[in-house]
Amino acid sequence: MDSDMLAGVIEGILFGAGDKISLSELCQSLNKTPSEVRFAIEILKQDYQSRARGIRVVQVKDTYQLSTKPENYEYIKEITKRQEKTGLSRAALETLSIIAYRQPVTRIAIDELRGVSSSSAIQRLLDRGLICDGGRLEAPGRPILYKTTNEFLKTVGFSSLKEMPEYEVFSQGRQEEFNLEIMTNETPKKETSHEEMLTEMLEKATGSEPSAEAAQ
């Protein structure tokens, strides 16, 4: 099975399952190495970048799932008549930002930063599965430390925490660049053939990335 075919098979699996599928599940059922599967998924992602495609691969950590492209939502919602989801409140968003950049963090630390009580915001974030209990601080009362979940990554569209812009970007007021990036990052870059992509990936792989193979 060549990489293009593998990409097709994986697309089928993701579509058929609907649910998110992990890298290790794919490797196991296809009897392929993580790098082979990763490469095939890159092919898939690349193909999806075309404006002629309405699907994208959503990656959170090492799990993959298909979804429609957000930029087409305007047109899709017309036909699905989907109920608009309500976003997070301002208080919840502030609390979430603090947890995302300061994790693991206690409620007291969040309260102090915001100058008001955050317990109800924390409860809402817990209910929505965006944050979770990340252990206890070894201090009087052993307060709970909060950290963000994979659901958080999915909600704000990051594939890992490393993808978040650094804190300094905001403290130095450079966030405009990043707001722009959200709007443009899914437009097709230059057309690259799969062979070029492979060499590019190989170069990257030899540079660093011990990642999944080591973890397997």
Q: Binding to other proteins (CB under 8 A): which residues in 140-169? A: 154-158, 160-162, 165, 167
Examine residue 73 and tell whether it contacts other proteins (CB under 8 A).
yes
Shorter beta-carbon distance to other proteins: residue 31 or 86: 86
Is 19 among the residues that bind other proteins (CB under 8 A)? Answer: yes
Q: How many other CB atoms are found less than 10 A from the CB of residue 141?
A: 9
28 scored as a contact of other proteins (CB under 8 A): no
Instruction: List C-alpha distances in Å: 93 to 89, 115, 124, 133, 205.
Output: 6, 15, 10, 18, 36
* Contact range with other proteins by CB under 8 A, out of 10-18, 25-33, 38-46, 189-197: 10-18
Residue 57 interacts with other proteins (CB under 8 A): yes or no? no
Residues 101-130, interacting with other proteins (CB under 8 A): 101, 112-117
CB-side neighbour CA atoms (13 Å) of 78: 4
Give dist(CA 56, CA 46) in Å, integer.
9
Quick check: 82 binds other proteins (CB under 8 A)?
yes
Q: Rule CB under 8 A: choose which of 1, 5, 12, 136 binds other proteins.
A: 136
CA distance 101 to 131: 12
* Strands (DSSP E) found in 28-155: 55-60, 63-68, 105-106, 131-136, 144-148
The residue among 52, 54, 56, 64 whose CA lies nearest residue 27 is 64
Note the residues at the interface with other proteins (CB under 8 A): 15-19, 56, 58, 61, 65-74, 76, 80, 82, 84-85, 87-88, 90, 93-94, 96-98, 100-101, 112-117, 135-136, 154-158, 160-162, 165, 167, 170-171, 173, 175, 178-179, 182, 211, 215
